[in-house]
Amino acid sequence: MKLKIGFKELIDNAMSTVETVCIEEANGFLHDDDSVFVDIRDIRELEREGMIPDAIHAPRGMLEFWVDPDSPYYKPVFGSGKRLVLYCASAWRSALAAETLQRMGVPRVCHLEGGFSAWKKGNYPIAKKHTKPHSP
């Protein structure tokens, strides 16, 4: 099957239209009250590898619903006007997600160059994702 556009072209297009921040710059946002890190990885990735301290988890599959004030799943943090620093494992999903949020009209969206893999490789702080206890 021949696709009209493949994933590489989608990612390249997104990378050309979204703001990408290097890990050094992003590290400076860690204690900035005007910035929110948004981890869009699957919950199993967070539990296995940890996450950037104080990041919120917004699964990629729910992101558009959590951002839209007209959605029953809306989360007010996305309407706060704060800088949203999206990240995933290697910056592919976050580039696509940042592009989508820009198209939706969300201001101040960027994504982390190299994703969480680059963050870990740079020996920046990592917090554990605590699992919720299972109900009997």
Q: What is the mean pLDDT of each run of 10 residues along the chain (136 residues)?
A: 91 96 96 96 95 96 96 96 97 97 96 98 90 51
Is residue 2 one of the residues assigned to a domain?
no
Parent domain of 43: 11-121
Whether 126 is covered by a domain: the verdict is no
Instruction: Determine, yes or no, domain membership for 46.
Output: yes
How many domains does one find in the chain? 1
Predicted local distance difference test score (pLDDT) of residue 130: 62
Predicted pLDDT of residue 131:
57
Give residue 134's pLDDT: 47
The pTM for the full model equals: 0.91
Residue 42 lies in a domain: yes
With respect to residue 43, please indicate whether it lies within any of the assigned structural domains: yes
Residue 59 lies in a domain: yes
Q: Residue 40 contacts by C-beta under 8 Å, 6 or more apart in sequence?
A: 58, 59, 60, 63, 86, 87, 88, 93, 94, 97
What is the reported pLDDT for 3? 86
pLDDT at 135: 46
| The pLDDT value given to residue 93 | 97
Is residue 127 situated within a structural domain? no
| CATH at residue 78 | 3.40.250.10
